[in-house]
Structure 1
Amino acid sequence: GTPSPPPSPTVDPAVWPPAGAEPVAVDGVYERFAAAGFVYGPAFQGLTAVWRHGTDICAEARLPGEQQPDAVRYGLHPALLDSVLHSLAFGVLDDSEQDWLPFTWTGVRLHAVGASALRLRMTPTARNAVALTVTDPTGRPVASARSLVLRPVTPDRVHAAARGVGHG
């Protein structure tokens, strides 16, 4: 069996980024996604910062200015949630060379509505799963998920899906 990674440090949600977190460069991440077949429109390009903190990934995302008024129409704006989850690209799971996509959500709770900016803490819980804690920029809870199971994806699968290959 694979040894368990060391536990991530305890975090005070009022301290952001978490003490001891190491910043990760996010420049060019959307160009990298496009080269791999994942092309995102402007509303979905909101990831602004990522940090590693122990085995966790911490991230921030913000809706573009023209999208911010729409945030109140949603429990959690889908483009904002998608943007903050783009931090999956920074290797929260052991196989950091593998790309992962969200697959199955468990224990999801919405604590507040209308956020136009988010902070995310993603903690590995299994080989292919993470727990999520989502807050607003002041540290107040917005959402949480006990588990988000991820599925591996390759550029070949993305390109095949885009062409309709394998769909009958």
Structure 2
Amino acid sequence: MENAEKGAGESAAERAYRELEETGYGYGPAFRGLSRVWTRGEEVFAEVVLPDEAGGPDGFGVHPALIDACFHAGVFRTDTAGQEQKLVLPFAWNDVRIFAVGATALRVHLSFDGPDVVSLRVADTAGVPIASVGAVIARPVATEQLRAGAGSDWSRDVLFGLEWTEVALSQPVSTPAIPAIPVVQSAADVTALAVSGSTEGAATADLTARAGGAGAQELTAWTLSLVQAWLTEPALEESRLVVVTPSPADPAVAAVWGLVRTAQAEHPDRFVLVATDDRDTARQALPGILASGEPQLALREKAVLVPRLVRAVSAGGADAG
């Protein structure tokens, strides 16, 4: 086995990160974990240490900075010696196994199956197996592609954010007539409604009074009982339950919104979420809300808002769209 530092004027790590930078990789202090390297034929062995800048290993099977450093030793592979080095990125990971967690230093064995496939075995400093990867398949990427990806053109294509946009309902919010849409406050109410057959295509569940001072567990438990009851009644299959809440800025109400959004995803057109600062206004707006077909709405001072995806704003403050 040959020490990669033998006869060299720089350490293995210094050489590796110099050559990686020349190829197009830029590793900061948190990702410079390569320490020592040896070669044996076409195999590469190394020692890597988790840098202090990367933080501790808690929460990871193997810390990402540590596992990434294992592949930095590939600079010393002999089967591609003399060839022009290409910038490559991992494309597929196969047969990944983790045997132990918490390691901060690894002994590494790299073997290669062609220029684009590498297998990995790692152990701790005592030789106890930590992880193995049957094959990591890499694909070349042009430096120009990465530079383009960081520009505004890429931002315009893929970065979006959520924005509440004002819309007009078919029936104005200010309409004084209050529709006779039934209100349910318990699973028993839902059952009674189903038996009566008088749903008018919808019913409301009003959390605005309950939300004051109630915790997330209490509100979500109450909402869940209504949602489950609503879904188990065949007579209500063509009806929608309108869940009226205060602003989801309240963490407890936000939990309710998360629960109902999940129900909406699993059962389209069965639930409607309405946030309001005035329960009477919300009730007056129910015909327009139901006619709109919107699954989520917010009523604010006679304005009706719905969530829409919009082009994200760049870090500099300019609209990426």
TM-score (norm 2): 0.41
Quote the Cα distance in structure 2 between the aligned partners of 1:78 and 1:60: 16
Quote the Cα distance in structure 2 between the aligned partners of 1:159 and 1:75: 31
Q: Indicate the residue corresponding to 1:74 in structure 2.
A: 60
* 1:89-168 equivalences in 2 (<5 Å): 89-91=75-77, 94=80, 96-99=83-86, 100-163=88-151, 168=157
Task: Give aligned pairs, total.
Answer: 148
Q: Shift of residue 154 of structure 1?
A: 4.0
Does residue 1:86 correspond to 2:72, yes or no? yes
**Match among 33, 57, 60 for residue 46 of structure 1:** 33
Quote the Cα distance in structure 1 between the aligned partners of 2:53 and 2:89: 27
Letter in 1 for 2:67: L
Structure 2 segments unaligned to the other structure (5+ residues): 6-11, 158-321
- Structure ranking higher on relative contact order (CA contacts 8 Å, 6+ apart): 1
Q: Are the equivalent residues in 1 in contact too, given 2:4–2:76 (CA < 8 A)?
A: no
Quote the Cα distance in structure 2 between the aligned partners of 1:85 and 1:113: 19
- For residue 146 of structure 1, give the secondary structure of its aligned residue in structure 2: strand
Q: Are the equivalent residues in 1 in contact too, given 2:23–2:85 (CA < 8 A)?
A: no
**Match among 51, 55, 75 for residue 64 of structure 1:** 51
Quote the Cα distance in structure 2 between the aligned partners of 1:164 and 1:56: 42
* 1:2-17 equivalences in 2 (<5 Å): none
Q: Are the equivalent residues in 1 in contact too, given 2:34–2:70 (CA < 8 A)?
A: yes
Q: Are the equivalent residues in 2 in contact too, given 1:63–1:79 (CA < 8 A)?
A: yes
Higher helix share: 2
CA offsets per residue over residues 61-106 of structure 1, 9 Å max, x none?
Answer: 11124546x2133110011111222222333653742333322111
Does residue 1:30 correspond to 2:11, yes or no? no
TM-score (norm 1): 0.73
CA 1:42–1:149 in 2, change beyond 3 Å: closer, same or farther? same
Q: Shift of residue 28 of structure 1?
A: 4.3
Q: Are the equivalent residues in 1 in contact too, given 2:29–2:53 (CA < 8 A)?
A: no
CA 1:129–1:66 in 2, change beyond 3 Å: closer, same or farther? closer
Query: What is the root-mean-square deviation of aligned Cα atoms in Å?
Result: 2.7
CA offsets per residue over residues 21-45 of structure 1, 9 Å max, x none?
Answer: 3425332433443444422221111
What percent identity do the matched residue pairs reach? 36
Q: Are the equivalent residues in 1 in contact too, given 2:110–2:120 (CA < 8 A)?
A: yes
Q: Shift of residue 60 of structure 1?
A: 1.5
Letter in 1 for 2:150: A
Quote the Cα distance in structure 2 between the aligned partners of 1:140 and 1:43: 25
Q: Are the equivalent residues in 1 in contact too, given 2:118–2:135 (CA < 8 A)?
A: yes
Q: Are the equivalent residues in 1 in contact too, given 2:43–2:77 (CA < 8 A)?
A: no
- For residue 13 of structure 2, give the secondary structure of its aligned residue in structure 1: coil
Letter in 1 for 2:47: E
Over alpha carbons, which structure has the higher Rg? 2
Structure 1 segments unaligned to the other structure (5+ residues): 1-19
CA offsets per residue over residues 117-136 of structure 1, 9 Å max, x none?
Answer: 11111111244212111111
